[in-house]
Chain A
């Protein structure tokens, strides 16, 4: 059985709502009947041991699983009252409005400027491209470090800078929700801290769903935490409750480090 606490939506419509969501890879039932409400302008952390389905669940929120031929999704994900998996919905539009930052920094082999400008360009948002690029880099706290070398290759940046560039790139298409799949797991502690500070700033304007292996990180940055285990949502609620007073025994065992 799973436990879900009341989610305080503060009278606003939720940013995302998964309802009885299941994902299959061939015969593997990777995500099992998960229902989860993501409130607007909050940070929701998905935690759990490796292979628990947290990344798979995250990738349902912008239909990234469509790219994996063997993946099959059942159930629904509501976004502004529409099911993202409705036949009439174009996944390309979904991905523009629900952006994603990946585990390893994956800048394009192009200049810093072109990395950020790619999203606006492919989406036909070419007006004032320079301003968009600057604003995105500022939002990702990278502008001061790269403003004088925008034409340099993105590969010349450090790992932490590359990841902030990837965040800037995501922000440049002005999404409503930003999904982050262990965005700091390949970074050193100082770069990680910068990303965490950034997430704190970003939630003023964006809703963030973040997968993390690092429980301290989840505790530091998130407002709500969902614990997944073996494809099931075990417990979902305010981060403080999940970490200090969970109702489920498995949640407590995991957050206190007894397994996982």
Chain B
């Protein structure tokens, strides 16, 4: 029987069978790899919920740390994290966006710009403890800001600026050049082109990058230990020069204690940290969608 007359679905060769099975095996393998990640996350979350949920109540949120587990809470750490995050955003966001605008729209294309660009990319990969040492030497000691909220926020701002700058550059670069040409062609100045057209179009991308960077900042502990965040604090920061602690540090402090009750507190603390992270992301997603809807 010639090939042309053979009905479909008959006469499968060994080669055909092998490639069909290979295709199926590959799909299964990829699916398995995905489920490993999902399963690990699910186990972690369930474990946390079992340990932490009973401890999670209003008193937990409004009490300071204590050596009695039943009286201990995350008030100081939560307040510290919110302070640090807010200040870090206020410092890092405008500086990073301005730097990205300069690099993309104003800087002359030359080796200096290229060198700066390479440096920023490298800075994004520097271990956070190095930023902690820098923060200790520069903000705490040289500038005399002490072991304070502002020292911590400045240090974290330095840490996440490279990430925001690169994300913002990416977003600015993604604005089609035809839009810039159209605006220039109507007699707009560079500033007007950037502020009326480029930035509004790049904003969703910039916000996404900022959220990712802030999510990294909220989980940092090493650089904050270097600039003097403490693990046990019985007051919330009232100003920029106050001492502070943050959620990851409080959690670590609890985890390292021998009693089971403190481990449960740690689990509850992690849930609070996750909630903070998720609500931050939610706010940013709403902002991004609103920026996108304006088109």
Contact = CB atoms under 8 A, between A and B. Distances in A.
Interface string A55-96: 000000010100101000000000000000000000011011
A97 B176 CA distance: 24
Interface string B188-202: 110010001100010
Given A69-B109, A122-B192, A153-B295, A102 B185 contact: yes
B183 interface: yes
* Interface of B: prevailing SS: helix
Interface stretch (A43-51, A103-111, A220-228): A103-111
Interface in B162-196: 176, 178-189, 192, 196
Interface in B85-116: 108-109
Contacts of A206: none
Interface string A155-175: 100000000001001101100
A122 B196 CA distance: 9
A169 B295 CA distance: 17
Interface residues of B, number: 20
A91 B181 CA distance: 13
B237 to A, nearest CB: 42
Contact of A93 (B181, B187, B196): B187
Given A69-B109, A155-B295, A106 B176 contact: yes
A100 interface: yes
A122 B187 contact: yes
B187 A104 contact: no
A173 B187 CA distance: 8
A123 interface: yes
Nearest to B175: A109
A152 to B, nearest CB: 12
A109 B295 contact: yes
Interface string B20-56: 0000000000000000000000000000000000000
A211 to B, nearest CB: 14
Contacts of B189: 92, 122
A14 interface: no
B233 to A, nearest CB: 48
A236 interface: no
Interface string B224-267: 00000000000000000000000000000000000000000000
A205 B192 CA distance: 28
Contacts of B187: 92-93, 95-97, 119, 122-123, 173
A172 B192 CA distance: 17
Scoring A67, A96, A153 by chain B CB atoms within 10 A of each residue's CB, the highest score goes to: A67
A104 B181 CA distance: 12
A102 B109 contact: no
A38 to B, nearest CB: 18
A166 B295 CA distance: 17
B179 A108 contact: yes
A170 B185 contact: yes
A110 B133 CA distance: 47
Given A102-B178, A106-B178, A108-B179, A67 B184 contact: yes
B204 to A, nearest CB: 11
Interface in A93-152: 93, 95-97, 99-100, 102, 104, 106-110, 118-119, 122-123
Q: Which 7 A-B pairs have the closest CB atoms?
A: A96-B187, A119-B186, A106-B178, A109-B295, A100-B185, A122-B188, A122-B192
14 contacts: A92-B187, A92-B189, A93-B187, A100-B181, A102-B181, A102-B182, A107-B182, A109-B295, A118-B183, A122-B183, A122-B187, A122-B196, A170-B185, A173-B187
Interface of A: 62, 64, 67, 69, 92-93, 95-97, 99-100, 102, 104, 106-110, 118-119, 122-123, 153, 155, 166, 169-170, 172-173
